Amino acid sequence: MIALYLKSLHIALLASVGALATAFVAQFAFGLHPCVLCLYQRWPYAAVIVVSGAGLLVSRKFGFRGVFDALAALGFFATSAIGAFHVGVEQGWWEGFDGCVADTSVTSSMAELRSQIMSAPVVKCDEIAWELFGVSMAGYNTLFAALLMIFMIKAFFNNRA
C-alpha cells in the first residue's frame, strides 16, 4: 500500500516539474511570453512540488499519507480552475483581470517607467499565443491538471492513513 502512495507522490512531483519545465521552455526557447493568468497557473505546480517533496521525505517515517495526496489534489484543482478561467477569458466568455497587461513593479523615475514599458512584451490574457487542434495552452493545462487531480483524489482514498 505504501508503494502505491509513494508512486502517486512521485507522479505528482514529476508531472509538476514537467508542467513548469514545459512552460519555461515555451517562454524562453520559443518566445511565448506569459500573461498574468499564465503566471498564476504556475504557482500551484510549485506548491505541489513542495508538498509532494515533503510527502516523500516525511511520510516514510511519520505517515500522514493521505494529507499529502489531498494537498497535491488541491494544488492540481487550483491550477485547473485558473486554467479554466483563462480559457473563458480567451474565448470571450467573461472579462479578465485589469492586471492582464499591467506591470505593477515599482519604478523610481519616469524615465525608468518608460524604459520598462517599452521593453516589456505586451501579453494580453484574451489572446491565444499558441494552440494545437483548437486548444490553447491554458486549455491543455486545464485538462492535464484535472486528470492529475482525479488521480490524486483516487490515491487519497486508496492511501489515507
Banded pLDDT at 152 (limits 50, 70, 90): very high
Residue 75 near residue 44, CB atoms below 8 Å: yes
Residues 6+ apart with CB under 8 A from 30: 130
Euclidean distance between CA atoms 33 and 112, whole angstroms: 21
Alpha carbon 130 to its chain centroid, in Å, reads 17
pLDDT at 161: 53
- What are the φ and ψ backbone dihedral angles of 108, each rounded to 5 degrees? -100, -15
Distances in Å between the Cα of 23 and the Cα atoms of 14, 15, 35, 76, 131 are 14, 12, 12, 16, 14
Euclidean distance between CA atoms 72 and 44, whole angstroms: 9
Banded pLDDT at 76 (limits 50, 70, 90): very high
- Answer yes or no: is pLDDT of 1 > 50: no
- Range of weakest confidence among 4-13, 20-29, 129-138: 4-13
pLDDT at 122: 66
Residue 81's nearest CA partner among 40, 134, 23 is 40
Residue, of 44 and 111, whose pLDDT is higher: 44
pLDDT tens column, 19-57: 999 999 999 999 899 999 999 999 999 999 999 999 988
- What is the torsion angle, in degrees rounded to the nearest 10, for the CA atoms of residue 116, residue 121, residue 127 and residue 129? -160
Give pTM, 2 decimals: 0.81
- Answer yes or no: is pLDDT of 115 > 90: no
